[in-house]
Structure 1
């Protein structure tokens, strides 16, 4: 990311491989940058952003909504769970996962692929990050129990494909953070799990 200040104006450029996002508080500043770039590089101006790295962006005068509905449906299809029964919660709170749960081992590559997909989905879905983070501990020794728990997350995703993050127009921009931790929650090594999230204005922008 690159940031340029020009008096009261600010220009923010986000770059990923060959994709550029141009943002700022002055239209003239953004237009000038785009014209200068097009004089040097072969580029196409796609206008108002609607899709970026699998994320769908809906913008209006008063709000911006970001989700991964299409990607969520691709996950369902990839793991042949598009016809599965939806579930209301991504995790069974009474179930404690551990390395040696007594169930049979599964295809580790398949499990890693599933967790990787869910990790990327959590880019706009902080509500699944905790359980996906827990499941990622078992990518080297995944069992039937771990697979069942990960499929539960996907079943939850099926019923919430259109969930995402909404940022509404706000005059107040206050940085607010929340954090919490369990106490020795891991059965295997008694390590604790920390979680945090930050808001700036109206929506979450950072979580773990």
Structure 2
């Protein structure tokens, strides 16, 4: 075995470590996806999926190339390691891998058009602070046009420290779950018996799982994306060893 120094690149994920934390991005991988599908110079989309999108199996629509559609979804699914803001859109499209239609290809193209303008986004993990395990849970009811199923998402957020320190300090700590509306009250009655779980209500403006359960408008989407720590890491200034360093991924 040999020591190659700090991790900087692993399976398409670029790792930037600095005094204040760690940045993870797949900017080069994202650009490679766009080059392969011929959308390197496409028109930008501000959101990966429109608010009024109405996808279904659409048996009356014309079929498209299933292999090409699957390849596009497969590439995007790997990108979700550093782009959780795309999870909902890619998850919805993944339901139609068998016999995809024209509407599914149009929705996939919108995700790619959004990616074209956001290649330099990535996950930012800051260090220090108190290690608390906080979970956000949200649901969107009866959103599947084919079977009427709901979408439920739960997100564990480490908002104050890096994972190694975080996991060591929270094994015996009380867990917090933030829920919206009446669900917080209903679930809370059962969780009160377990002293390791604390259920609290969170307003919709602060519900981090919102971006994982439904399409959002441009302003709301950008706000939620920031809350889950997906940020533009292309030109950030960091203080390393007392010096200002500019990192550029372009």
Superposed pair shares fold, TM > 0.5: yes
2:93 aligned counterpart, secondary structure:
helix
Distance of 2:156 and 2:21 partners within structure 1: 19
Task: Report the counterpart of residue 19 of structure 2 in structure 1.
Answer: 61
Distance of 1:70 and 1:203 partners within structure 2: 27
Distance of 2:89 and 2:129 partners within structure 1: 34
1:131 aligned counterpart, secondary structure:
helix
Aligned-pair CA distance for 1:101: 5.8
Task: Report the counterpart of residue 176 of structure 1 in structure 2.
Answer: 134
Q: Are positions 1:80 and 2:38 aligned together?
A: yes
Aligned-pair CA distance for 1:83: 1.3
What is the root-mean-square deviation of aligned Cα atoms in Å? 1.8
Aligned-pair CA distance for 1:61: 1.0
Distance of 2:134 and 2:107 partners within structure 1: 32
Taking structure 1 as reference, are residues 203 and 193 closer, same or farther at Cα in structure 2, changes over 3 Å only? farther
Distance of 2:139 and 2:12 partners within structure 1: 31
> TM-score w.r.t. structure 2 length?
0.63
Where in structure 2 are the equivalents of 1:95-174 lying within 5 Å?
95-100=53-58, 102-174=60-132
The higher relative CO (CA closer than 8 Å, separation ≥ 6) is in: 2
Q: 1:192 aligns with which of 133, 150, 169?
A: 150
Output one character per residue of 1:138-179: Cα deviation in whole Å (capped at 9) or x when no partner: 000201110010110011011111111101122211011111
Give ranges in structure 2 of 5+ residues lacking alignment: 164-208, 213-250
Distance of 2:45 and 2:159 partners within structure 1: 32
The answer to whether the 8 Å contact 1:65/1:165 transfers is yes
Distance of 2:61 and 2:36 partners within structure 1: 24
The answer to whether the 8 Å contact 2:31/2:119 transfers is yes
> TM-score w.r.t. structure 1 length?
0.75
Distance of 2:45 and 2:20 partners within structure 1: 32
Runs of 4 or more above 2 Å deviation = 201-205
Aligned-pair CA distance for 1:200: 1.5
Aligned-pair CA distance for 1:130: 0.3
Taking structure 1 as reference, are residues 179 and 203 closer, same or farther at Cα in structure 2, changes over 3 Å only? farther
Distance of 2:4 and 2:133 partners within structure 1: 32
Q: Which stretch shifts more, 195-204 or 98-107?
A: 195-204
Aligned pair count reads 165
Task: Report the counterpart of residue 41 of structure 1 in structure 2.
Answer: none
The answer to whether the 8 Å contact 1:91/1:149 transfers is yes
